[in-house]
C-alpha cells in the first residue's frame, strides 16, 4: 500500500511522476537526455547501467522495467541476465564492462568509485564524457529506486506489465505525453 | 583532481559538473530550484536542512556544507549551524514534525524499502501532509543522486564551513538557476 495516495492505475514510478508533475518534468528531461540523447554509448548499453544499479538496490520495479527495456533494445535477454548475476562473464565490450563496474560502485556510494576503476575504463577507451554519463545515470537511478520503494509504490507481479512498459520506453522515451500509459491499463495488478 | 577533465577546474563540487555538460546541468539545477525553493508548506530552511542532513549521512562534504550554508542563510544562522546538522541538532531546536521527516529522509537515503509504515505514521502524527511526505522522499532521493554525482567523479571541495557561506547566501536569495 503506497504511503501517499497514488493513482492505482499507475503503479511504480508512473504514479509518482504523476503526483507532482512540476518536479517530474526535469527528472524526465534528464532521463531522456541521458538515456536517449546523443551518446557514444548505445541506448541498450545505457539501459544496462539503469538495470545494474536498480538490481543492486533491489528495486524490483525498476529492475524489471529496465531489464525489459534493455532486452528489447539489445534484441536478446542473455546480456541483462549476465550483467546482473555474472558481470565478469557478460557478453559486453571490455569498455562497457568497466563502465558497469563504475556504475555498480556509484549505486552503493560515489566514494566506492576507485581510481583503479576509472583507469580501467580509460584503458578500455572510455571517454571522459562516457564516464561522466555513466556516473550520472547511475546516480539518477539511485534517485528513482528510492522514490519507487520509498513511497511503497505498487510493483506489479505480471511480467507482461514490464514488457508493455518497455515498449513505451523504447517507442516514446521518457518525456510526458498524452495517453502515455494507455497500453498499461489492462495489465497491471499488484504483487 | 576529478576523475574527468573538467572545462573549468576552479569550479568546486557540482558547479564544475553543471558547467561540464550544460544540458544535463540545467535539468539538475531546475530540479533543485523546484524542490528547495518552489512552493511548499515546508520552509526553504527546512528543506535545505533535509538536503544537508542526507548529504552528511552520505559523506558528501560539498553537498552537506553548501546546503547547510543555504539553510543557515534562510534561518539567519552562522557557519556553526552546519555542524549542528551533523550533530543531530543538539543546539538548535527543530520541530517534532521536521525530526519525523528527517527520519523518513534517512531511511530513504539508506534504501527506499527501509521506510516503514511506522515512520510515515509518526510524521502524520506531527501533522505532516501527503505532499510534505512526498517532497521529503523526493529531496532524500534527489540528494542520493547529487551526492553520488559529486563524489563519484571525485570533484574537489573546499574543507572549511566559512568558504561555503557566500554560496549559501546566493542559493537562498537567488536560487539554483543563478549559476
pLDDT digits (tens, 9 = 90+) for A103-129: 999 999 999 999 999 999 999 999 999
Is this model's pTM higher than 0.95 or not?
yes
Is A10 a member of any domain? no
3-state class (DSSP) for residue A106: helix
For residue B1, what pLDDT is reported? 87
If pLDDT is split at 50, 70 and 90, which confidence band does A190 have? low
Mutate to test the interface with B, among A111, A142, A153 (most CBs of B within 10 A): A142
Is A72 a member of any domain? yes
The closest CB to that of A20, out of B20, B134, B147, belongs to B134
Dihedral of CA A148/A56/A166/A164: which sign?
A: negative
Grid cell in block for residue A74: 539489445
Is A21 a member of any domain? no
Is A28 a member of any domain? no
Is A137 a member of any domain? yes
The closest CB to that of B60, out of A110, A129, A138, belongs to A110
Chain center to CA of A191: 20
CA-to-CA distance for B172 and B162, rounded, in angstroms?
16
Grid cell in block for residue A38: 546523443
Which domain, by its residues, includes A164?
Answer: 41-175
Q: Do A109 and B58 touch (CB under 8 A)?
A: yes
A91 contacts chain B (CB < 8 A):
no
Is A159 a member of any domain? yes
Span A21-50, average pLDDT: 98
For residue B170, what pLDDT is reported? 97
Percentage of chain A exceeding pLDDT 90: 96
Give the residue extent of every domain in chain B.
13-178
Three-state secondary structure readout of B63-93: HHHHHHHHHHHHCCCCCHHHHHHHCCCCCCC
Q: Are A133 and A39 in contact (CB under 8 A)?
A: yes
Q: How many CA atoms lie within 13 A of B119 on its CB side?
A: 22
Q: Which are the contacts of B75, defined by CB distance < 8 A and separation ≥ 6?
A: B45, B81
Span A39-63, average pLDDT: 98
For residue A186, what pLDDT is reported? 62
For residue B102, what pLDDT is reported? 98
Is A65 a member of any domain? yes
The closest CB to that of A3, out of B115, B142, B150, belongs to B115
Q: What is the CATH number of the domain that holds A118?
A: 1.20.1290.10
In B, which residues are within 8 Å of A103 by CB distance?
Answer: none
CATH node for B13-178: 1.20.1290.10
Q: Which residue of B has its CA nearest to A152?
A: B113
CA-to-CA distance for B33 and A62, rounded, in angstroms?
26
**Residue range B64-91, pLDDT digits in tens:** 999 999 999 999 999 999 999 999 998 8
- How far away is chain B from the Cα of A28, in angstroms, using its nearest Cα? 9
Indicate if the pLDDT at residue A137 is higher than 70. Answer: yes
Total structural domains in chain A?
Answer: 1
Q: Are B45 and B75 in contact (CB under 8 A)?
A: yes
- The rounded average pLDDT for each run of 10 residues, N- to C-terminus, in chain B (179 residues) is 96 98 98 97 98 98 98 97 95 95 98 98 98 98 98 98 97 94
Is A104 a member of any domain? yes
Amino acid at each position: 500500500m503506497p504511503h501517499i495516495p497514488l493513482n492505482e492505475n499507475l503503479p511504480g514510478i508512473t504514479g509518482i511522476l504523476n503526483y507532482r508533475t512540476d518536479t517530474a518534468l526535469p527528472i524526465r528531461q534528464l532521463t531522456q537526455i541521458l538515456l536517449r540523447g546523443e551518446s557514444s554509448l548505445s541506448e541498450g548499453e545505457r539501459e544496462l547501467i539503469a538495470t545494474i544499479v536498480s538490481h543492486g538496490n533491489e528495486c524490483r520495479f525498476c529492475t524489471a522495467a529496465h531489464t525489459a527495456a534493455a532486452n528489447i533494445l539489445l534484441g536478446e535477454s542473455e546480456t541483462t541476465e549476465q550483467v546482473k548475476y555474472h558481470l565478469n562473464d557478460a557478453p559486453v565490450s571490455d569498455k562497457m564492462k568497466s563502465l558497469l563496474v563504475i556504475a555498480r560502485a556509484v549505486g552503493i556510494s560515489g566514494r566506492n568509485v576507485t581510481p583503479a576503476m576509472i583507469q580501467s575504463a580509460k584503458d578500455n577507451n572510455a571517454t571522459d564524457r562516457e564516464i561522466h554519463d555513466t556516473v550520472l545515470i547511475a546516480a539518477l537511478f539511485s534517485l528513482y529506486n528510492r522514490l519507487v520503494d520509498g513511497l511503497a509504490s505498487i510493483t506489479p507481479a505480471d511480467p507482461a506489465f514490464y514488457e508493455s512498459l518497455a515498449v513505451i520506453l523504447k517507442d516514446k522515451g521518457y518525456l510526458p505525453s498524452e495517453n502515455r500509459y494507455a497500453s498499461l491499463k489492462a495489465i497491471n495488478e499488484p504483487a | 583532481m576529478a576523475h574527468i577533465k573538467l572545462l573549468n577546474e576552479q569550479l568546486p563540487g557540482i558547479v564544475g559538473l553543471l558547467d561540464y555538460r550544460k544540458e544535463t546541468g540545467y535539468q539538475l539545477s531546475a530540479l533543485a530550484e523546484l524542490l528547495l525553493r518552489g512552493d511548499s508548506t515546508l520552509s526553504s530552511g527546512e528543506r535545505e536542512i533535509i538536503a544537508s542532513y542526507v548529504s552528511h549521512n552520505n559523506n558528501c562534504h560539498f553537498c552537506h556544507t553548501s546546503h547547510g550554508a543555504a539553510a543557515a542563510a534562510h534561518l539567519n544562522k552562522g557557519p556553526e549551524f552546519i555542524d549542528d546538522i551533523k550533530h543531530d541538532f543538539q543546539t538548535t531546536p527543530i520541530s517534532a514534525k521536521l525530526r519525523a521527516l528527517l527520519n523518513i529522509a534517512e531511511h530513504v537515503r539508506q534504501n527506499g524499502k527501509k521506510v516503514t509504515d511506522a515512520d510515515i505514521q509518526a510524521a502524520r502524527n506531527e501533522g505532516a501532509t501527503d505532499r510534505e511526505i512526498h517532497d521529503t522522499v523526493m529531496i532524500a532521493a534527489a540528494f542520493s543522486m547529487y551526492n553520488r554525482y559529486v563524489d563519484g567523479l571525485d570533484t574537489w571541495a573546499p574543507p572549511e564551513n566559512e568558504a561555503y557561506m557566500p554560496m549559501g547566501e546566493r542559493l537562498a536569495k537567488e536560487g539554483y538557476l543563478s549559476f
